[in-house]
Chain A
Amino acid sequence: MTDRDIGRSQADADSLLLINVGTTHTRVSLIDIVERQYRMVATAENATTADAPYLDVGEGVRFSLDKLAELVGCEFFDDTGQLIVPSRGSGTGVDAVVLTLSLQADVRVALVGLLPDISLRSVRKLTESAPVRVVAEVSLGDRRSDEARMDALCQAKPDLILVSGGSEGGASDAVLRLMEVIGLSIYMMPSDSKPQVLFMGNSSVAAKVQDLLKACKCTVTTARNIRPSLETEDLDPGRVALNDMTAQILRARLGGIEGLLAWTGGVLTPSPLGMGTIIELMARGAPPKKGALGVSVGSGSTTLAAGFGNTLELSVRPDLNLGRNAPHLLELTSWRDVARWLPMEFSEEALRDYLHNKALYPQTIPATAEDLRIEMAIIREVIRATVRAASPSWRVPFTWPWAGVLPPVASVTGTGSAFSNVPRPGYAALMLLDSIQPPGVTSLILDAQNMICALGAAGRVNPLAVVQVLESPAFPRLGTALCPVGKSHTGDPVLRYRLQYADGRQIRGDVRFGMIEVVPLPLGQKAQITVQLHRHFDLGLGGYGQGGTFPVEGGLAGLIIDARGRPLVFESDPAKNRKLQDDWLAQITA
C-alpha cells in the first residue's frame, strides 16, 4: 500500500486504532461504530519497551494489541505479522491508525536569544510547551565572551538549539553575529551529534541564517518570529514546530518507531499537541467568559492545557512527574505543602524517601491505603506547582472578578492513571478540586482510558469520531462542581439549594463553610438547581450573594458542592488538619 492509499483510507476511516506510547505504559484503544455512533470499544495496555533490553517500542505495542485482540475478539495482524489496514470486515484489521508519543527521552535543548529579558524569555516560555530539558542558555546580554558561549554550547551537548532574536524590521547584524558563534559551536561538535536548529527570530535574516549554518552540516528549520515586536509574543507556530522537531528527535532515537509509522503514513503526534487539540475544542464550546482546562500527570511529565476562546496555553513539565524526576517536586514545593493533604503524620524524611523510591520504580502503584493518600498528595502538589508557574502568563480574553483565583472554566479534565487508578470516582474529583481549585460552576471530566492525546491526534483522520467519543461514556463526567468563591468561618452558611430532578423529585439542603456536599445525580442525568448564596460568596452568577437557577448534569461522583471557599483554607493545627483531610474525602465519596 502506498502512502497515498494510506492517506485515502484514513480519511474515510470507520474503525480507528489509537496508540499512545508513554514513558512506562503503551496504550492502545479501538474506536468503531456501535449503533451508528463512534464509541471507544476497548483499551489495553502493557509496559513500554523503549528501554533495554527491548529497545523497540513496537514490542510493547504488539503486546498491547494482543491484549486488545483478546478483549474485542478481533484480529489485527495477518499471517505475515503485518497490521491489517484497512479493515476487511468481520472484525479483521482497522481502517486507520493514530500514533502519539508521550514518552520522555531527555531531549536536550539550548536556548539562544539576543536579550535575556525579551527574546530569551520568550523562547524559554516556548520550551514549557514541549517535553524538553533546557541545558544551556546563551544571549548577547549574558556578558560572556564568544569563547565562553561556544564552550557552554559544546559542553551542553544539545539535541536542539532554539534561536530567537530581532523583532520584525529590527536588529539583523546582532542576530547574524550571534549566529556565527552558534555556527562555530556546531562546527566544533562531533559529526554524529550535531544538533538541529529552530530559528524563530527576525524573518529578514532567516535565509542568511540558513546559509550560515548550512556549512556546519546541521538541519535548520525556521518558524514565524516568536517576538515580532517588543510588545508582542506569538508562540503558537513555534510551539508546533518545537513539538514536531522533538518528535523527530525521538523518532530517530526510538527503536521500532519506523514500523509503527508505516501504519500511520508517517504521522506522529506529540502528546501535548493532541491534548491541546481537545482542550481547545472544549474551550471553543464553552459558554462566554469561560475556558477549559486539562491536566495529565504521568511518570514522564505533567501537561497542563488551558484554552480560553481561541487561545491555547500548553505547559509541559518533564521535571514534574511521578517518575524519574519525582524528587524534584520538593525543589518547587515545601514538604509541608505535600503533607497538609495527608490524614496521617508524615515526616519530611519519609516523603523524600518515598519520592526517591518512586523515581527508582516509576511503574509501581500504591498498594496500601496510606501509600494511596501519599500518592494523591504528591499529585495535587505536582499539579499546583504546574498551575502556579503557568497561569500568570495565560492569555485570557476576558476579565473575571476574583483576585488570586484562576479564571472560570467550564470543564476540568483529568487524564491518566493518576485519576483513573483510584478506588472511587470521588477520589479523582477531590484531587482535581484541590489542585486546580476551579471557581464557580465547572464540569469535572475523567479521561479514564488516558486517550485524550491520541484522540486529539485522531482529529485529522476522523473529526466526527472525536466529537462522538468525547460525548461518550469513555469520557465520563465525574460531576458538576459548584465552587463558590469567598471566605468565612467553619460552619457558617454558604448556600442553600433546591435540586429538581427530571422526574419532578426535589432535594433541598444547606451547605456550610468548610465542607463538601455531594447530591445524588447519576451519570447521564440532568436536573435544575436553584441556589441562594450568602452575601460573602460568589458563584459567578452576577456577583456576591447572587444566586440563580440553572441546569446541571450528573456524574460518577454526583453533583458536588464545594463550600470550602477559594482559595482553600487549611486548619493551622496539624491534628485538626489531618482529620479535615479524612472528612473531605469521606464527604466527597459519601
Chain B
Amino acid sequence: MNLPHQTHVSLLVVIRRARVLPARGSIIVRMNQKVSPSDVIGRTTLAPAHYLFDIAHGLGLPPARADRFLRRELDEKVTGGDILAGPVGWMRRVVRAPEEGRVVLQGDGRLLYEGLGEGFELKASLPGTVIGEEPDISATIETAGALVQGIWGNGRQEFGVLRMTTQNSAGVLGTADLNIEMRGAVAVAGRVEEPGIFHNLAALPVRGLICGSMPSACIPAAQAAEIPVILTEGFGKIPMNSAIFELFATNVGREASLNAQQTDHWKGLRPEVIIPLPAVGSADVPAEAVQLVVGRRVRVLRAPYAGREGSVVSLPEGLVPIANGIRVPCADVELGETGLVRVPIANLDILE
C-alpha cells in the first residue's frame, strides 16, 4: 500500500476544526452557537511568574511562629498589594502580593505565590457553528466551504475578501504591483521574491497573503509580518499549482479565513484557507489517508517537475530506475503539456 503525502484542495466540504487553548482556561461559547471568525471563544493565561517568599524572614519571626500570621487560604485569588502575611510587631511588618495571582503553597515560614500571567484570547478563526466542547480547553466549530491546505505559515490568523494579484500561477507579486484596491483583501499571488513585500502589504493594509512560494531568505520578514502568510508549495521559485490557483480564482470576492498555523504532524495541523460557502447538497468531510491509485490527482513535490499537477496513469510494479540511476517505487503521471513522466512515489502529493 502506498501512502504518499496528501493535501486537501476541495471545492466544497464540511470542515470541522477544534480550537484549543494553549493551557487550561475557560471556553465561553455554547453548543450550537453561531460564531464569526473574530469571535473570542476562550480565554486563559500564559507564562505566570512565580514568587517564593521567606515569610519568616520577612516578618522577623521563627518559621513555626510565622505560619500563624499567614492570611490567605491555598488557591485563594489575591489582588496585587494585598497582605499575604502579617502584620507583626510595633512596625506592623507585612508581606504583600507583588501582583494579582494566587497562593500555591505555604508553611514552614515560606510561601509560594503564582502571578496571573499574560492573558490569551482564543478566536474562532472561521465562521460556523459550535458542535463540540471540551470544558476549559477546546471547542469544535463546523462550517461548509472550500478548503485549501498550505505547507508553511507564519502563525497568524485573519479573514478577508479574496483578490488575485497576479495574472497566472507563476506570476510574481512585487511592491510595484501593490495598489489601494487591495486594501482589506486577502492577496493571492503565484509567488513573491522580495522580503520587503510583507511590510508593504501589512502597511496597505491587506488582510493576508497566499502565495505558491517565496525564497527561504524571506522567512524572517514573513514571520515578522502582522498579516497571515501561507505558502502552498514551498521555498524558492515554485509557481502555485494550477488546481489551487484556479480554486482561488473562482472564489474571488468571497470571504476567506486564513489560519497560517505552523504544521504539526502529530496533531494533523497545517496552514489552511477556508472559504465558507452555502452547503448545497451533500457536502462531506474531506477524505483522509487516501491511497495512490490510477486516476488520482497528484502534484509533484520535487525537481524536475516541482509544483506541477497531473493524474496517475499507471503504477509500475517494484523498483524502477529514474533519471539519476536510483531504483525506487514510481508512478507514471500525465502532466498536461509535459506529457507522461515517471515520478518517485515519495515525491508525489495527493490532491484530494
Contacts and interface: CB of A to CB of B under 8 A. Distances in A.
SS class, residues of chain A in contact with chain B:
helix
B50 A360 contact: no
Contact of A66 (B1, B23, B24, B234): B1
Contact of A366 (B24, B268, B302): B302
A366 B346 CA distance: 10
B277 interface: no
Contact of A147 (B49, B104, B151, B324): B49
Contacts of A151: 47, 49-50
Given A184-B52, A190-B23, A366-B302, A353 B215 contact: yes
B64 interface: no
**Most B CB atoms within 10 A — which of A52, A354, A365, A367?**
A367
B288 A356 contact: no
Given A349-B217, A370-B303, A47 B3 contact: yes
B336 interface: no
B105 A363 contact: no
Contacts of A422: 325-326
Contact of B216 (A52, A147, A356, A421): A356
Interface in B248-302: 263, 265-269, 288-289, 301-302
B152 A360 contact: yes
A359 to B, nearest CB: 9
B53 to A, nearest CB: 10
Interface in B99-138: 104-105, 112, 114
A571 to B, nearest CB: 25
A147 B234 contact: no
Interface string B11-29: 0000000000001100000
Contacts of B344: 364-365, 367
B322 interface: yes
Contacts of B267: 52
B203 interface: no
B61 interface: no
B266 A52 contact: yes
Interface residues of A, number: 50
Interface string B72-90: 0000000000000000000
A52 B234 contact: no
Contacts of A357: 234-236, 302
B52 A371 contact: no
Given A63-B3, A357-B236, A54 B326 contact: no
SS class, residues of chain B in contact with chain A:
loop
Contacts of B217: 349, 352
A80 interface: no
B304 interface: yes
Given A46-B3, A51-B266, A52-B267, A150 B326 contact: no
Nearest to B23: A190
**Size category, B interface:** 35 or more
Contacts of B147: none
Nearest to B325: A423
B343 interface: yes
B106 to A, nearest CB: 12
Contacts of A371: 302-303, 324
B347 interface: yes
A114 interface: no
B328 interface: yes
B302 A364 contact: yes
B323 A52 contact: no
Contacts of B346: 363-365
A584 interface: no
A474 B212 CA distance: 43
A469 to B, nearest CB: 22
B194 to A, nearest CB: 13
A403 interface: no
A159 B251 CA distance: 45
Contacts of A184: 50, 52, 105, 112
Nearest to A184: B112
Contacts of B236: 350, 353-354, 357
A53 B268 contact: yes
**Most A CB atoms within 10 A — which of B50, B152, B289, B304?**
B50
Contacts of A423: 324-326
B303 to A, nearest CB: 5
Contact of B51 (A49, A60, A147, A154): A147
Nearest to A24: B346
5 contacts: A52-B268, A53-B288, A154-B48, A155-B47, A364-B301
- Listed from nearest, the 9 A-B pairs whose CB atoms lie closest are A52-B268, A423-B325, A53-B288, A353-B236, A51-B265, A47-B3, A356-B216, A356-B235, A353-B235
